[in-house]
Amino acid sequence: MKTRAREDQAIIGYLLGTASELEQSQIETRYFREPHFYEEMLALEEEVICDYLNDVLAPAERRQFEHHFLTTPRRRRKYESTRKLLTFIADQGTTQTTTASKPVKPGLLALSARRANDFLLPRLGFLWTLTSLAVLSFGVWMLSNQVSAYRSQVAQEEARQATTQKLPSKLHPKTDKQRPEANKQRNPLAEVADQLQASLDDPPALLSGGTTKAVVSTVVATLRPAHLRAANNAQPVALPAEAATVHLHLQLGDPAPTQFIRFNVVLRTLNGIEILRRQNLTPQVIKSDKSLGVDLPAAKLPVGRYIVIVSGITAKMEIKPVEEYFMSINRE
């Protein structure tokens, strides 16, 4: 949530209908007298709309926005035009990032080197192949030598351990003292193994309930599509009190739809109250799994049941329903 200057706060209170009569008349007198202040008010009005669309308004401001601000046609028109502008700007931002990451044109030197390379490579191809083969064979020979050396070391170590186990038990107190000496002679591989074992044996402070407390800021909720609109289809999501963000990981069915280039996501309560709307989302593809990721503040998800509706946009810009997900939020 953002913090604002006191004057901005007063103006926003005025725009959202929470200012007192005195505050109202102070602000109104000023904008009737000062054209510049009037322009500032209009700019701030637009910023409030942006803040609402960006989920930056405080819950009380958000309520006022929905129940007071959007009651007049002029402000609804302004809201719609700002929403369209923001969607467009978001697209522009993505396009700019893409163009910025285009490969840089090579300089003259690099270009000459590439041309020389292009010229030489086909003619010296045979020689290159021979050299590569020779280097490869040498590498394989070196590697096999190393492996056999390690193998013999491990075999010696095993033989030594076997003799130690056969010693009588009365010698054991001595072996405790001798252990550091023996450790020095041990194989470095065995030391690494010991360290690994030690790290597995000692539980980390985070899990052992020590003084360091685990801070969960983002909770990832993986949701699978529900094919029936039944209450028992709601997937439970437990939110810890300290969670700040919820990342909804929406799996796009099996088989994943291929005809859509982008997706829209709407999150609603089961009573139909819209919590979130994201448009033009690009799916993540990992191997054959397609999914969508949406972040939202955990504060926007009180305990209850929710439905997530995903629609897809085809290359012909047709919007079609894709999947529905049900989740039930519990607080820990």
Partner 1 sequence: MGDALRSARPAQKCLGAKQAMRKNQRVSEPSRREKGWALSADSFNRLLEGLHEDRDQAGYEYEHLRRVLVTFFDWRGCAFAEDLADETFNRVARRMEEGEIIRNLPDYCYGVARRLALEILPKQSKQEDDPPEFEQLAAVEEDLDERRSREQLYECFEYCLKQLSPENQELVIQYYQTEKRAKIDNRIALANKLGVSLNVLRVRVYRLRATLEDCINKRLNEKKLQEGKKS
Closest approach of partner 1 to the CB of residue 91, in Å: 8
The C-alpha atoms of residue 52 and residue 134 are separated, in whole angstroms, by 67
Closest approach of partner 1 to the CB of residue 224, in Å: 24
The only residue of 46, 157, 261, 281 in contact with partner 1, by rule CB under 8 A: 46
The only residue of 6, 74, 166, 172 in contact with partner 1, by rule CB under 8 A: 74
Among 23-31, 162-170, 183-191, 285-293, which window interacts with partner 1 (CB under 8 A)? 23-31
Q: Does 218 bind partner 1 (CB under 8 A)?
A: no
Largest Cα span, the chain: 104
Q: Does 284 bind partner 1 (CB under 8 A)?
A: no
The count of C-alpha atoms lying within 13 angstroms of the C-alpha of 228, restricted to the half-sphere facing its C-beta, is 4
The interface with partner 1 within residues 86-115 (CB under 8 A) comprises 86, 88-93, 96
Total residues binding partner 1 (CB under 8 A): 61
Residues whose CB is less than 8 angstroms from the CB of residue 55 and which lie 6 or more positions away in sequence, other chains included: 276, 296, 297, 300
Q: Does 76 bind partner 1 (CB under 8 A)?
A: yes
Partners of 328 in the beta sheet?
A: 236, 305
Q: Does 255 bind partner 1 (CB under 8 A)?
A: no
The count of C-alpha atoms lying within 13 angstroms of the C-alpha of 76, restricted to the half-sphere facing its C-beta, is 7
Give the CA distances from residue 138 to residues 134, 145, 213, 217, in Å, rounded to whole numbers and listed in that order.
Answer: 6, 11, 53, 52
Among 129-137, 163-171, 191-199, 264-272, which window interacts with partner 1 (CB under 8 A)? 264-272
- Across the chain, where does the E strand assignment appear? 218-223, 235-239, 245-251, 260-269, 274-281, 284-286, 289-297, 304-314, 319-331
Q: Give Rg (Cα) of the chain.
A: 33
User: What would the two tokens of residue 90 be?
Assistant: 């978001």
Closest approach of partner 1 to the CB of residue 185, in Å: 55
Closest approach of partner 1 to the CB of residue 88, in Å: 5
- Our CB check for partner 1 shows the closer of 197 and 314 to be 314
Can you give the binding site for partner 1, defined by CB under 8 A? 2, 5, 14-15, 17, 24-25, 28-29, 31-33, 35-36, 38-44, 46-47, 50, 53-56, 66-68, 70-72, 74-78, 80-81, 84-86, 88-93, 96, 266, 268, 272-274, 277, 297, 317-319
